[in-house]
Structure formats: C-alpha cells, structure tokens
A and B are shown apart, each in its own frame.
Chain A
Amino acid sequence: MLLKIIYQLILIFIILLMGYDVFKEKSAWLQLTAALALIPFVLRLLMIK
C-alpha cells in the first residue's frame, strides 16, 4: 500500500511537470506532445490502465 502511494506521488509530480511544460513550451508541436504524453500518466494515476 505504501509502495502504491509513493508510486502515485511520483506520477503526480511527473504530471505537474508535464502540465507546466504544456504552458511553457514555445513550440505548439511540443505543447501538443506534452499534452498527449500526459494521457497515459493520468490514466495510470487513476488506476484505469
């Protein structure tokens, strides 16, 4: 259980970094890439996939 919480905290940290990147990237292509890369991390955080 503790391992799962640590895992989810790591996921939240990565999601926040990627979310920040979505707004900070200068290139629209990289913004889009960051937003799409977020999907599997969010699904994993919610323990859906």
Chain B
Amino acid sequence: MVQKYKYNQIKIKNIEFMFGVFTLIVSLMIGMIAADKFQEMHETETLYPSYALTEISHLSDYNPNLKNTNGNTEIYFFNSDSAGGTVLILGGTHPNEPAGFLTACLILENLQIKRGRLIIIPRANNSAFTHNDPQEGQPQYYTIEGIKRERIFRFGSRITNSIDQWPDPEIYLHYPSGQKLAGNETRNLNRAYPGRADGNLTEQMAYGIIELINKKNVDLAFDLHEAAPEYPVVNAIVASERSQLIATEAAMELQFEDLIYSMEPSPYNFHGLSHREWQDYTQAMPILLETANPIQGRLRGKTDVSLLLTGRDPMYLKAAELGELHVPYDSAGISIEVRVGRHLSAIKTIIDVYSNIYPDKAVEIINVPDYEEIVSKGIEEYF
C-alpha cells in the first residue's frame, strides 16, 4: 500500500517535471517569435533618393559618440551647381507622427535642386522608430501602394527606445537650463536640444543635429510634426524671433491657397524644443510645422492603419460637432495626403519667401508636389 503510494507520488512528480519542461519549451518558442518581431522593428525601410542626391553622411559624423548606436541616422545632402543658401528638413523627430516622416521621404525621393543646398534627415530619432508607445494600440507598420513599388513604413514612438536609454529619471532636468519636465521626456528629442556630446543618447542626437546646423551653415531649418486635433498648437507654424518675419509672410501666402495656419511664437522660457534652441544655439532660422492627426488624439476610437491613413474617426466627428477641436473636421477625415500636402506647401512657400528676402541665399527646389497636387493625385503617385 505504502509502496503503491510512493510509486504514485514519484509518477506525479515526473508528470509535473515533464509538464514544466514542456511549458518552458513552449514559452521559449513564443519568446523566440516575439524576439524576432521586435528585432524586425530595428530594420530600416529602404529609401530611394532622387538623382539630385550628392552625398549621404551620418549623424555620428557630427557627434562621434553616436557611432554604433541606434541613435545614429542617415543625413542626405542635395547640392546644386549654383551657390545659394542651405535648408535642413527634419522628419521623424517623433516617429508616431507619420506625415513628418513621409514628407521628408517624399521630398528626398522626388526633388531636383536648382539652387543652393538641401539637407534631409528623414529619421531624426532613429531609436524611436524601433518600438511603439505602450498602451496606445497603434499599428507597427503601414503600407503605401506606390506606383513604383509597394512601401512598408514603420510607425514608431514619440520617444527613444528604453532599450537604448535607460533608466528614466523621476524628473527630467533639461541641460543646460535646468528646466524640470516629466521623467520620460528625457527620451524626447524635441525636449533635448541643444544636447550634449556625451549626454544621454537623446541629448547626443540633439547635439549632433546642432553641430550639423552650425558646421554646414544651415540658413533655414524645418522640424516636421503632427499633433492631436484637440491640441491647441495644430495646423500651425511655430517660429522663433529670427524666423517670424518669413513665417508670417508665408502664412499669409498660404491663406490665399485656403491653407489656414496659426502663427505660434517659440516660447522664450520653454527649453529643449527645436525652434527655441536652434534659435539660441545656431544661426539658422527655425520653423516647426504641425498638422492635425487623429491617431495621436485621446478621443480616437478604433486605432488602426485605416485611421492613420484616412484620419476618419466617428469620435472626432462628434468632438467637431461639439466644437472641441482646433481644426476643421468632417466625415472626410484628415487624410495622409492632406497632412503631407500641408507640410509640402508650407515648406515650399517658406523657402520661396526666404529666397525672395535673401536672394543671395536663395534655394530653389523643383519636382516636389504641393497640397493641391498631392490631394488630387494621391500620395501613391510619389513613391
């Protein structure tokens, strides 16, 4: 009887052990699949620069500490044969704002340059492209069926991947102002300027961009963004003291094309922002552009690729009817064409205004569509 009991106990223990081994193998397999998916996010999509491309360098050329890190990113130079000014376009400061990234990519793949020089950084915060914001349920990828080829782009996060920069402090103290912000803002590139050569990874990226602007004598610098439709600074041009004149004139010209922009002055005492610190630490004229994107908003419903590309959301329609939004919104939504088109028209108009005011520093780019063209033909036409 006792022997039979012991035998049963050993048998149960063996079953428990074998089940333990089985569950470990299953979890290992699930872990490997998950690891593979996470690693895939580190692969950057291929970009196809236009024939006007003259040079590709890296941010690590301006801050060597970025070499072999996920903070390093490609910088595309388009030099013309005619002397003129230098314009910098930054996409992907926040990779969860796809119109900024796509605008930079679209210009990069289509432009021809007649005068001056254009520098494009499509993935300003490369590390933030390698993960998604937790608890947002946002898509990891989106597809654009371009006429040349199908393109799959990453939808990333607002901030640097915590794998690359960890841990977050309780309170983020901005360098050098000492301004206090929430701890995770320490990974926000647009709160890290002017940065430090040997600071945290995000500060290193910011420092590299400041160095690029100064070493390449950038005259006019754009930082492309999107924001939730309920956010007050949306469909806006943010300009610092130096760039306010050209931004205002451009906003008036854009109004003739029925593109309404609010003019927002760069706040003097809000540090770390591109427009504030590019004003204070470089000679460039900084411009930050915002469009309205429902997939970032708190009021949104189903969060999928369709929302990302069409901007159509019944909750936002309701919010618009209640007068809670800062942008016009109807059942047509705010499509990616509208958002990219606004950025393109604003960039082209601001460059034109700048070139008229400073003819010796003029920059002339062609073969880049404007709002009307992209809305009528679709974004697929340009990829």
Contacts and interface: CB of A to CB of B under 8 A. Distances in A.
B167 A48 contact: no
Interface in A5-49: 7, 19, 22-23, 25-26, 28, 31-32, 34-36, 38-39, 42-43, 46-49
Given A19-B24, A35-B26, A36-B30, A43 B16 contact: no
A42 B31 CA distance: 8
B1 interface: no
Contacts of B31: 38-39, 42-43
Contacts of A23: 16-17, 20
Interface stretch (B32-40, B46-54, B224-232): B32-40
B23 A43 contact: no
Contacts, number: 52
A15 B17 CA distance: 18
A4 to B, nearest CB: 7
Interface in B9-64: 16-17, 19-20, 23-24, 26-27, 30-31, 34-35, 38-39
Nearest to B42: A48
A31 B23 contact: yes
Contacts of B34: 39, 43, 49
A3 interface: yes
23 contacts: A4-B166, A22-B24, A25-B20, A26-B16, A31-B19, A31-B20, A34-B23, A35-B20, A35-B26, A36-B27, A36-B30, A38-B27, A38-B31, A39-B27, A39-B30, A39-B34, A43-B31, A46-B35, A47-B163, A48-B38, A48-B163, A49-B131, A49-B163
